[in-house]
Amino acid sequence: MKSKLLLTLILIYVSICNYAQPSFASSFLADRHQSRNVSCQQCHGQENSTAEKNLGMNCQKCHGSYQMMVDKTQKKFTEVNPHDQHDGDLSCVVCHKGHKKGVNYCEECHGTFVFEVP
Ligand code: HEC
Ligand code: HEC
Ligand code: HEC
Ligand code: HEC
């Protein structure tokens, strides 16, 4: 209960900061989405969830499935497409971080797969 209240307060605080500084360095995924009129709730859901699974499902509402991402980015990757993964229901946010630099999750096991995650 307490942590939920704290999270709500953080969300409100971050919203106010963003509102007060619209020109704040917009280098992260969430900032770039906001400049395209995607709200906090469209990624986090009405319940303001930060759970990987929920976030991933919300990404897919706009971007579609892994297969659709593979088809879309096919031309960019000659060897391995990062969206062509073998973990089944892997959440999108394992790689795509909202408010910080993206992470190349595949690299944990495949040291030779080099991806720059937006
Ligand atoms: C309400 C719809 C919506 C939701 C939800 C959404 N996106 Fe997007 N996203 C867009 C639009 C619109 C663009 C810009 C057009 C494009 O590149 O498809 C975009 C672009 C992107 C891009 C490429 C451009 C960039 O700035 O890096 C990535 C990567 C991306 N989204 C990932 C995600 C991830 C991961 C999530 C979930 C955490 C997510 N999106 C949730 C609508 C959405
Ligand atoms: C293994 C890490 C990884 C995962 C997991 C992942 N992505 Fe990506 N994604 C990438 C990388 C790397 C790129 C950059 C591709 C490029 O260079 O164009 C990318 C690019 C994108 C783009 C921009 C594509 C474009 O048009 O250039 C979108 C949109 C996107 N991802 C959405 C998703 C969604 C939705 C999911 C979950 C279904 C997801 N990603 C899961 C690594 C990942
Ligand atoms: C593009 C989708 C997207 C948008 C838009 C977005 N977020 Fe996020 N947010 C994420 C992702 C992805 C994470 C990290 C999840 C992870 O690392 O497991 C996250 C994490 C968070 C966290 C947890 C702390 C952290 O940094 O990991 C807070 C708090 C948060 N977001 C608040 C907000 C607020 C407030 C807004 C609107 C001003 C917002 N987010 C807009 C995708 C988004
Ligand atoms: C937890 C460790 C682990 C992670 C993380 C992982 N893989 Fe794998 N992957 C494996 C193992 C084990 C094999 C089977 C070994 C083999 O056949 O060489 C494999 C095989 C593969 C193969 C076929 C064999 C090859 O090397 O060409 C591809 C393609 C692949 N993985 C792509 C990915 C992608 C893309 C990601 C990130 C989304 C990823 N993997 C993340 C462990 C992992």
Report the CATH number at residue 65: 1.10.1130.10
Nearest CA to ligand 4 atom 27: 80
Cα–Cα distances (Å) from 35 to 12, 19, 22, 27, 38, in that order, read 19, 12, 9, 11, 7
pLDDT category, 20, cuts 50, 70, 90?
Answer: very low
pLDDT digits (tens, 9 = 90+) for 78-114: 889 999 999 988 999 999 999 999 999 999 999 999 9
Output the pLDDT for position 86.
96
**Domain assignment present for 34:** yes
**Domain assignment present for 75:** yes
Nearest CA to ligand 3 atom 41: 40
- What is the Å distance from ligand 1's center to 11 Cα? 20
**Domain assignment present for 52:** yes
Nearest partner of 73 among 117, 107, 110, 40, judged by Cα: 117
Residue 38: Cβ within 10 Å count:
15
**Domain assignment present for 53:** yes
Output the pLDDT for position 21.
44
pLDDT digits (tens, 9 = 90+) for 38-75: 999 999 999 999 999 999 999 999 999 999 999 999 99
- pTM, full prediction: 0.89
Q: Which domain holds residue 51?
A: 27-108
Nearest partner of 100 among 19, 34, 15, 30, judged by Cα: 30
**Domain assignment present for 57:** yes
**Domain assignment present for 102:** yes
Can you tell me the mean pLDDT for 18-31?
Answer: 64
**Domain assignment present for 11:** no
**Domain assignment present for 8:** no
Count of structural domains, the chain: 1
Is residue 113 exposed (0-12), middle (13-18) or buried (19+ Cβ within 10 Å)?
A: middle
- What is the Å distance from ligand 1's center to 111 Cα? 27
